[in-house]
Chain A
Amino acid sequence: MNGTKNGLPLRNLVWPRSLHAQLALLSGLMLALTIAVYGWYTAREQSAIAEKAILTEMQILAQNLATASADYLIIRDFASLEQILIQSAEFPGVLSIQVTDAAGRRVGDVVRSENSAPARVRFGEPALAHPSTGSGGTFVQRETDRLAVWHPVTSGGILGWVRIEHSLRTIGEIRGQIRKTSLIAVVLAILVSTALLLAFLNRPMRAIQRATLFAQKLDELRGSKIAVDRTTVEIEQLGDALNEASARLLDSESRLDHLAHHDPLTNLPNRLLFLDRLNQAISQAQRAKNPVALLFLDLDRFKVINDTLGHIIGDQLLKDAGDRLSGIVRDGDTFARLGGDEFNIILTYMSHAQDAATVAQKLLDLLSQPFVVEGHELFITASIGITLFPTDGAEAQTLLKNADAAMYRAKEQGGNQYQFYSPIMTIKAHERLAMETGLRHALKRAEFAMYYQPQVDLRTGEIVGMEALIRWLHPTWGIISPTDFIPLAEQTGMIVPIGEWVLRTACAQNKAWQSAGFPPMRMGVNLSSRQLKEKGLVGLVGRVLGETGLEPRFLELELTESLIIPNA
């Protein structure tokens, strides 16, 4: 096991992971370190001072002894010499005193075993090697536990030497004392400063904890605030930042919520919100037994404007229309945009169905005024489909489908009107859907055929040109005229591949007839504005001409307006 316990490195057992504890411990350690260093330094200083003091005293003592010893050495009164040595050895810390003759032979030797014991005379020790310095002053020898101070006994020349040994144990004791005191101080420092800092930091740390807890639950607590501890700048900043974040979170959420429920372009409720409101309205209407009306408003010929003027203007038009029209609804109603160029309205609390018609007419009237967008004066109308709850459906989905059908009917009837739903519209809607599906497959299944209508010069009676017309030959539905399927093709975008087929087929046929020897003439091919919007149309025409070999002067492209052609 290399140094882990419960998956944490062992280091964490010694060094805490809490900032609180770390700071407290660190301060304690710093203080302890300072004290230890100071203690060590002081110990050294004090030792040096003490040693110096001892040295000075010993030098003086040695000097005095040397002076006193001179007489006795000369007259060889070793007994009297011994007496002064014994007296001198009383000096605290003195370990031994020797007086030697010039050769180093001991003539007086006094020792003290411990500080309290009296000095004893000693005989028989070997001669001392005296220092060889030529100077007449003291000489110091230093060993680990003692100091030896030499002084020559002079009278004319050197008669002998005095040596005093002094214990350095007191210095060791001083050092030990200081160390002991320092150690106690170190321990105290660690304890006290750790405790102090733990206490002092308690409040800020708890504030941080509270802030952390708040941040962790910010999701739930968004919008609410915590009490900000203003004792320290950092914590105050943290608290304020969290409160701001909380407010912003709430704000974002609101905005997100809004975005999720509203159309970005017009800021009107979107499908999600709309459905929700519709369900609410239905529930409420079930209880209150008053009808709810659904109005689907589709802008007529919006595609033309979008295709010709561009979608920037188209979008702006939608926005302006939305602004103008949405003002009509009351508080309990909903004016929404579910997509495209369609606006969807829920009318609640209606007294009777006719109220819905009134509203629809008002909407149509509002649109009679032109819109000015980017300098363009635009006139638009709308087709409105109306369904009623519970008459036209008991569920939201049904109502939506039927409102759509009613709107389509209004469009079929020429636009700029409203239509109430009737069941037949559903049938028509189904039919329409079937046709759309068939149309998608028609090109693949080669169900299209080109008919060429000759153009005759009425004066000469000669054929001067042709017009290519497309017909759809459906296996079950029979021949379908372009008036019936071209608008659908334009709506679905199928017009592009169909158009290309038309172009290609017509050109090829014209070329074929020319090649067959018939007099060459112009072929007219209809283009819808939808095709015109396609990039590469020019390229396409060029390619087709190239492939078929038809000379461009024999092709005439005619632009037709994309209209839902009204019935007679």
Chain B
Amino acid sequence: MSALHICAALFAAVSLWVLPVAAETKPAYTFAVVPQLPPLAAHRAWAPFARRLSEGTGTEIRLKIYQTLPEFENDVFKGIPDFAFMGPYEQVRAFDPVGYVPLVRDGGDPLKGILVVRKDSPAKTVRDLDGMEIAFPAPNSCAASLYMRALLGEKEKLRFTPRYVVSHTNVYRNVILGMARAGSGANKTFERDTPEVRAELRVLYETPDMVTHPLSAHPRVSLELRKSVVENILRMTGDEAGRRILNEVQMPKPVKADYTRDYKPLERLGLDRYVVR
């Protein structure tokens, strides 16, 4: 047996070993989710969606859950995840440097930042909160923090001390437990929290409507795949299970997103000065 024969045989053996594995392996894509909720809750909310999308696109969508917003933004601005569900202003901030393309967003209710107090709080208007400590999720949360802080400071001329408690859900609980007089969250997270939580709180103040969170793709993701993702998501509205899945991820009425139409206008809001880098 010559050396060539041995090599050929080895090659055949190795391919036989590798190929089946290779044939079974689907292409994997990372999907980062903005941390509005604690990781466990976030995972619970997004895992069915990711699974359904994996099945629909024939790929493996791997969720990436973050504990804090800075960690998330870090990865996003490095362009690490293939897909990302991010805040609208993050989309704006990341568009030029990284190039994430919004694919779909919720077409139903718009996003709003809400300021909540305990239901038995003596505060009647936002003015009653003057000089108080107010809880926010993270400095760069779009509606809950950036927009709300801008409004409170510039429009309402309120003096307050922000305290950052990481997640929307923690904002609500801090207020209920009396750790903060008021807290700022978002309507989309508030309405998805437990009835017990909502029963304890009262919305004192709201931001104006904001465009909803996009589900965006990194430019390296193939057009074909992007198209497939969009189609799959839109198709989920067709069955009961799919609709439930979509509701969990804050997209009960998914529509195709367009950066110029949907997100470019946010550049004019002047929120940049509130961003913490």
On whether A83 and B166 interact (CB within 8 A), knowing A120-B194, A121-B194, A123-B176, the answer reads: no
- Most chain B beta-carbon contacts within 10 A, residue among A79, A84, A124: A79
In the complex the two chains form, what is the Cα distance from A87 to B165 in whole Å?
A: 21
Q: Are B38 and A77 in contact (CB under 8 A)?
A: yes
- Of the candidate stretches B146-154, B167-175, B211-219, B244-252, the one touching chain A is B167-175
Min distance, Cβ A384 to any Cβ of chain B, angstroms: 140
Min distance, Cβ A33 to any Cβ of chain B, angstroms: 54
Q: Are A83 and B41 in contact (CB under 8 A)?
A: yes
Could you say which residues of chain A place their CB within 8 Å of the CB of B197? 121, 123
Interface residues of B (CB under 8 A from A): 37-41, 165-170, 172-174, 176-177, 179, 194, 196-197, 199-200
Could you say which residues of chain A place their CB within 8 Å of the CB of B40? 80, 83-84, 87
Could you say which residues of chain B place their CB within 8 Å of the CB of A79? 37-38, 41, 166-170, 172-173
Q: Are B165 and A76 in contact (CB under 8 A)?
A: yes
- CB-nearest residue of chain B relative to A87? B40
- Chain A: residues with Cβ within 8 Å of the partner, total of 18
In the complex the two chains form, what is the Cα distance from A84 to B41 in whole Å?
A: 10
Please, what's the 1-or-0 string for A73-99, where 1 marks a CB less than 8 Å from any CB in chain B?
001111110111001000000000000
- Most chain A beta-carbon contacts within 10 A, residue among B38, B39, B168: B38
Q: Are B196 and A121 in contact (CB under 8 A)?
A: yes
Q: Are B174 and A78 in contact (CB under 8 A)?
A: yes
Q: List 30 A-B contacts (CB under 8 A).
A: A76-B174, A76-B179, A77-B167, A78-B170, A78-B173, A78-B174, A78-B177, A78-B179, A79-B37, A79-B38, A79-B168, A79-B169, A79-B172, A79-B173, A80-B38, A80-B40, A80-B167, A82-B38, A83-B38, A87-B40, A105-B177, A106-B177, A107-B177, A120-B194, A120-B196, A122-B196, A123-B196, A123-B197, A123-B199, A124-B200
Q: Are A77 and B165 in contact (CB under 8 A)?
A: yes
Interface residues of A (CB under 8 A from B): 75-80, 82-84, 87, 105-107, 120-124
- CB-nearest residue of chain B relative to A105? B177
Of the residues A75, A83, A123, contact of B200 by C-beta under 8 Å: A123
Of the residues A82, A87, A122, contact of B169 by C-beta under 8 Å: A82
- CB-nearest residue of chain A relative to B165? A76
Min distance, Cβ B182 to any Cβ of chain A, angstroms: 16
Could you say which residues of chain B place their CB within 8 Å of the CB of A82? 38, 169, 173
Min distance, Cβ B169 to any Cβ of chain A, angstroms: 4
Could you say which residues of chain B place their CB within 8 Å of the CB of A87? 40
Could you say which residues of chain A place their CB within 8 Å of the CB of B170? 76-80
Min distance, Cβ B165 to any Cβ of chain A, angstroms: 6
In the complex the two chains form, what is the Cα distance from A83 to B41 in whole Å?
A: 7
Pick the 5 closest A-B CB pairs, nearest first.
A79-B169, A79-B170, A78-B173, A80-B38, A83-B40
- CB-nearest residue of chain A relative to B169? A79
Could you say which residues of chain A place their CB within 8 Å of the CB of B169? 79, 82
Min distance, Cβ A87 to any Cβ of chain B, angstroms: 7
- CB-nearest residue of chain B relative to A106? B177
In the complex the two chains form, what is the Cα distance from A107 to B178 in whole Å?
A: 10
Min distance, Cβ A197 to any Cβ of chain B, angstroms: 65
Min distance, Cβ A325 to any Cβ of chain B, angstroms: 133
In the complex the two chains form, what is the Cα distance from A124 to B120 in whole Å?
A: 11
- CB-nearest residue of chain A relative to B199? A123
Min distance, Cβ A405 to any Cβ of chain B, angstroms: 140
In the complex the two chains form, what is the Cα distance from A77 to B164 in whole Å?
A: 10
Could you say which residues of chain B place their CB within 8 Å of the CB of A121? 194, 196-197
Could you say which residues of chain A place their CB within 8 Å of the CB of B179? 76, 78
In the complex the two chains form, what is the Cα distance from A360 to B145 in whole Å?
A: 163
Min distance, Cβ B164 to any Cβ of chain A, angstroms: 10
- Most chain A beta-carbon contacts within 10 A, residue among B170, B172, B200: B170
- Most chain A beta-carbon contacts within 10 A, residue among B173, B176, B197, B200: B173
Could you say which residues of chain B place their CB within 8 Å of the CB of A83? 38, 40-41
- CB-nearest residue of chain A relative to B173? A78
- CB-nearest residue of chain B relative to A109? B196
Min distance, Cβ A78 to any Cβ of chain B, angstroms: 4
Min distance, Cβ A98 to any Cβ of chain B, angstroms: 12
In the complex the two chains form, what is the Cα distance from A84 to B176 in whole Å?
A: 19
- CB-nearest residue of chain B relative to A86? B40
Min distance, Cβ A76 to any Cβ of chain B, angstroms: 6
Known pairs A77-B166, A106-B177, A121-B196 / 7 extra A-B pairs, C-beta < 8 Å:
A76-B170, A78-B174, A79-B37, A79-B168, A79-B170, A83-B41, A124-B200
